[in-house]
Amino acid sequence: MLLVHGIAGSSQTWDEIIPALARDHTVIAPDLLGHGESAKPRGDYSLGSYASGLRDLLGVLGHDRATVVGHSLGGGIAMIFAYQFPERTERMVLVDAGGLGKEVSIALRAASLPGAELVLPLLFAPPLLRAGGAVAGALGRVGLRGGPDVEEIARGVASFDNAQSRMAFVHTVRSVIDPLGQRVSARDRLYLAEGMPTMVIWGDRDRIIPIDHGRAAHELMPGSRFEVFHGAGHFPHRDDPVRFAEVLREFLESTDPAYIDDEEARRLLRERAVA
């Protein structure tokens, strides 16, 4: 299983579900380029580049195929991975995924504005970064829980402690978002998921990417599954990690991996071209 985190996140977002999944599966959860402990070069932060990097990572680790689970930005990367490398994709799981509609939170749209890279150092000055990084810990010490959305956002803010991380964040945002919203959409290619076991998971209280995107994607992929986590926000795998792991395990156990070779991929493309 290849677990792909979202923007400003890291592999830590999966910490609560990895042990349950790793009992029966090999789990790979990398930090994407420009995120977490990975390098943050001046380079290509497009979805296609991320997908190619994950393909290379699987190859280096000796895995030809995987079930790809993508959250938020990682969902967009998962769809591009399945599109570019269908022969390497056994199943696809989209969790509150980007790339399925225009709407997205105003904070991410603001980060795409010209000059955002000049403002970020002011917004994320050391005192604010320390405060952001301390939010989850402070709540825990007094026996309170701010909720996964608050915790994950605070952890993301705390990661902007150097110029390289801030620039990687801005480059990644601008590759998929502009001031009007998400500018990359996979909706016109979702028909290519035919024959590939696919599941869409969404928190019904997501304030970053609306659940309507998930419903629309489910309808465009006949045979896909749609799981709603009631009361969850943008991070359902953090809101209810036990149920999330169970849903994933059941999905893998009840579906056969896809085998989409070049000929099958050509057939799907030709059918849509004729239609």
Same domain, 141 and 235: no
pLDDT tier at 231, thresholds 50, 70, 90:
very high
Q: Respond yes or no: is residue 234 known to be catalytic.
A: yes
Set 71, 234, 237, 240: catalytic member: 234
Give the CATH number for residue 233. 3.40.50.1820
Cα torsion for 57, 63, 65, 69, to the nearest 10°? -50
Query: Do both 81 and 145 map to the same domain?
Result: no
Q: What is the pLDDT at residue 73?
A: 96
Q: Which long-range contacts (CB under 8 A, 24 or more apart) does 125-132 make?
A: 126/161, 128/157, 129/157, 129/158, 129/160, 129/161, 130/158, 132/157, 132/158
Q: How many CB atoms lie within 10 A of CB 14?
A: 23
CA distance linking residue 67 with residue 88, whole number of Å: 9
The residue out of 147, 162, 177 marking a domain boundary is: 177
Residues 20 and 33 in one domain: yes
130 lies in the same domain as 112: yes
Both 76 and 190 in one domain: the answer is yes
Asked if 93 and 196 sit in the same domain, the reply is yes
Ranges assigned E (strand) in 22-156: 66-71, 89-95
220 and 116 co-located in one domain = no
Residues 152 and 29 in one domain: no
Q: Which residue has the higher pLDDT, 186 or 165?
A: 165
Picking from 121, 155, 177, the residue at the C-terminal end of a domain is 177
The answer to whether residues 212 and 270 belong to one domain is yes
Asked if residues 135 and 150 have their Cβ atoms less than 8 Å apart, the reply is yes
- pLDDT score at 121: 55
Q: Is 15 a catalytic residue?
A: no
Q: At residue 10, does pLDDT exceed 60? A: yes
| Residue 138, pLDDT score | 44
Q: Are 80 and 6 within one domain?
A: yes
Residues 96, 149, 206, 239: which is the catalytic one? 206
Query: What total of structural domains would you count in the chain?
Result: 2
Q: Is 44 a catalytic residue?
A: no
Which position has the higher pLDDT, 94 or 188?
Answer: 94
pTM, full prediction: 0.87
Residues 7 and 97 in one domain: yes
Under 8 Å between Cβ of 193 and 224: yes
User: pLDDT-derived band of residue 120, with 50, 70 and 90 as boundaries?
Assistant: low
96 & 131 share domain: no
Active-site annotation holder among 10, 11, 72, 112: 72
Note whether 58 and 66 are within 8 A (CB): yes
Segments forming the whole domain that contains residue 7:
2-102+184-274
Categorize the per-residue pLDDT at 139 as very low, low, confident or very high, splitting at 50, 70 and 90.
Answer: very low
